[in-house]
Every structure is written in structure tokens, then in C-alpha cells.
Amino acid sequence: EIVLTQSPGTLSLSPGEGATLSCMASQSISSSYIAWYQQKPGQAPRLLIFGASSRAAGIPDRFSGSGSGTDFTITISRLEPEDFAVYYCQQYGTSPYTFGQGTKVEIK
Amino acid sequence: QVQLVESGGGVVQPGGSLRLSCSASGFTFSFFPMHWVRQAPGRGLEWVSVLSYDGNTKNYADSVKGRFTISRDTSNNTLYLQMNSLRAEDTAVYYCTKGLTPPRVLVNGPAGNWGQGTLVTVSS
């Protein structure tokens, strides 16, 4: 199975700062089938990005995704208070559709 | 709007069985792939299974293969997860999700819509 490794594990930032989260795959992801999700405590995850760089419906343009092959990134241009959460990447190109272990973005 | 409501969770002994249900509304259920994703307490997300929109393809995580079975009833827009030979490590919140794909197209897609989840606890 494809293993996804996210870094860093935790990111401590202040509102207004930018955030860059990384997702590295153990093998190339077909058709850039990478998604990013946001999860807040006690809530179900929410899809942010699919196809490595396409924003899901209703997602603000401060969220952007990039990458190809084995290296993918999600960038939050300026953190709003509601952006502090855990972020997961997922590959859905090859079954089993594995997730990364998550990156927590916390308030500094 | 899309609504997914899971049910059937509870406490079960190791080796036991449980069937989860997911009632879907707000979209044409038979046109989209459906997934189950789980999350153990305090842990990350783990993809469990997917059923293709045409019902012909079922894939599973290695950790549940041979023990779990995904299925659906299109007459009442319900997705199921039959879980047998349950283990303590199956304890988790189980989410039902709708694949984000064009309707009636056999293509891979991420989990676009999520239910609120149902908790399964495997314990003696």
C-alpha cells in the first residue's frame, strides 16, 4: 500500500500568518489523486482540496494545493481563527486509499 | 442537500458482529461511489472500504479484508458495512462518505460529503 507521510506533526502559528503543510508519498500518485481534509474537534472531516490543486465547493481561496508525483503541499495564505485544526492528506489513486497521519495547526 | 446518517454502532464483544447502516438523501444514491472511513479514539483517519457507483467493485483496507463487507440497497438509499470477527483495534467512529465524482462515471474520487459518524466499541 502507498504510505503517506505528513510534516510537520504540529505547526504553531499566529492568526494572519501563512502555513505550508507537506505530504510525501512512498510511490508516485496516479493522476495526482491527492485530497486534503480539515478536521476540527468533535466534527467530521471536511474536504478542502482534490486532484492535488482543485478547491472543493465553498472552500475559501486562501487554501491552495500543489504538487505532483510523490510530493504534495497545501498552503493557507493567511490563517483565520477557524483554520486551526488537524489536516489530513489522502491518496485515492490506488486502493487501499490511504491517509497521512495528520498535521495539527495550533495557535501559537 | 446531501445528507448521510449513520446508525448501528454500539458495544460488541471481541469476535462478535455488527452491521452499520448509512441512510443517504439529497442525491441519486446509485450514481456515486460510497466509502467507509474510521477513526479510532484520539487517532487519525483510516480508509476502510469503497463501493463503486455500479455496485460491481468493492475494495477494502488490508486490516479489514475478509472480515468486513460493504453493500447497499438502492431501493431505500442505504449503505451497509457488515463487520464480523471484530477486534479491539476495530474500535472507532465509523463515517459514511459520498465519493466526489461525476455521476455514473467509473473514476476514483475523494470523500466529498461525510456523515456525523457512529461509534463502535469492541470490548469484553
- Give B39-50 pLDDT, tens digit per residue: 999 999 999 999
pLDDT digits (tens, 9 = 90+) for B49-108: 999 999 999 999 999 999 999 999 999 999 999 999 999 999 999 999 999 999 898 888
Q: Is the pLDDT at A32 greater than 90, yes or no?
A: no
Pick the residue from chain B with its C-alpha nearest to A103: B44
Instruction: Say yes or no for a CB contact (<8 Å) between B100 and A44.
Output: no
Nearest to B33 by CA among B93, B94, B110, B95: B110
**pLDDT for the residue B108:** 87
Which residue's C-alpha cell is 476502510?
B48
- Write down the mean pLDDT value for chain B: 97
For the segment B18-33, the average pLDDT, to the nearest whole number, is: 97
Q: Which residues of A63-87 are buried (b: 16+ CB within 10 A; e: fewer)?
A: bebebeeeebbbebeebeeebbbbb
In total, the C-beta contacts within 8 angstroms joining chain A to chain B are 62
Nearest to B105 by CA among B30, B2, B3, B4: B30
Nearest CB among A46, A97, A99 relative to B44 is that of A99
- Which three cell numbers, joined as nine digits, stand for A46? 471536511
Give CA separation, B12 vs A29, A74, B41, B83, in Å.
Answer: 37, 39, 16, 11
**CB distance B37 to B111 below 8 Å:** yes
Chain A stretch 4-63, residues whose beta carbon is closer than 8 A to a beta carbon of chain B: 31, 33, 35, 37, 39, 44-47, 50, 56
Percent of chain A with pLDDT over 90: 97
**pLDDT for the residue B33:** 96
Q: Is the pLDDT at A10 greater than 90, yes or no?
A: yes
**pLDDT for the residue A22:** 98
**pLDDT for the residue B107:** 86
**pLDDT for the residue A7:** 95
Binning pLDDT at 50, 70 and 90, where does residue B1 land?
Answer: very high
Q: Is the pLDDT at A30 greater than 90, yes or no?
A: no
**Could you give the CA distance from residue A100 to residue B50 in angstroms, rounded to a whole number?**
18
pLDDT digits (tens, 9 = 90+) for A49-95: 999 999 999 999 999 999 999 999 999 999 999 999 999 999 999 99
Binning pLDDT at 50, 70 and 90, where does residue A27 land?
Answer: very high
Cα-based angle A41, A47, A52 (whole degrees, multiple of 5) = 130
Instruction: Say yes or no for a CB contact (<8 Å) between A90 and B117.
Output: no
**Could you give the CA distance from residue A51 to residue B59 in angstroms, rounded to a whole number?**
20
- Which three cell numbers, joined as nine digits, stand for B122? 469492541
**pLDDT for the residue B14:** 98
**pLDDT for the residue B124:** 94
Chain B stretch 65-94, residues whose beta carbon is closer than 8 A to a beta carbon of chain A: none
For the segment A28-34, the average pLDDT, to the nearest whole number, is: 90
DSSP state of A99: B
